[in-house]
Structure 1
Amino acid sequence: MKRIFLSFAMLAILATTYSCRETTQEKTEDAVEAIGEDIEDAAEETGEAIKEGADELNDEIQGNDDM
């Protein structure tokens, strides 16, 4: 009876550990995807800012500025 109880307890511990590991892995994957999306958004914003700056510089050089 003692062996059956200990075996059941060990199986319960293993099942709990395995299910938590799976959840942690899923959360990690979601976090990595979110970080990737944030980096992509930041790169796009940076590219747009660089393009705007280059356009302003070009206008300034050619004398087409608004002032």
Structure 2
Amino acid sequence: MRKIILAAAAAGAALSLAACSEKTEEAAETTVDAAAEDTTENMDAAGAAVEDAATDAAAAVDGAAAEVEADVQDESTAEAQVD
């Protein structure tokens, strides 16, 4: 009788661990999916920020080049930008 109770307790513990493991696995999968989604959103945001920075840098370079050309050719910045 004592062995049967011990075996039943062991079986119950094994089933509890298996159920807990399944729940843990599902939770881990959900966490991984959420992290992947967050990573995608962050990459999109970073890409947009880099694109905006590149546009701003190009505008600054164009303006600086026009100023240099205006100084070299003795003309206004507006005239240099037209060239």
Give the C-alpha shift of residue 54 in structure 1: 0.6
1:1-35 residue CA offsets vs partner (Å, 9 max, x unmatched):
22221111111000001000111111111111111
* TM-score in terms of structure 1 length: 0.84
* TM-score in terms of structure 2 length: 0.69
Query: Residues of 2 paired with 1:29 and 1:58: CA distance?
Result: 43
RMSD: 1.1
Gaps of 5+ in 2: 64-83
1:16 alignment partner in structure 2: 16
SS of the aligned residue for 2:49 comes to helix
Give the counterpart letter for 1:12 in structure 2: G
Gaps of 5+ in 1: none
Give the counterpart letter for 1:53 in structure 2: A
2:54 alignment partner in structure 1: 54
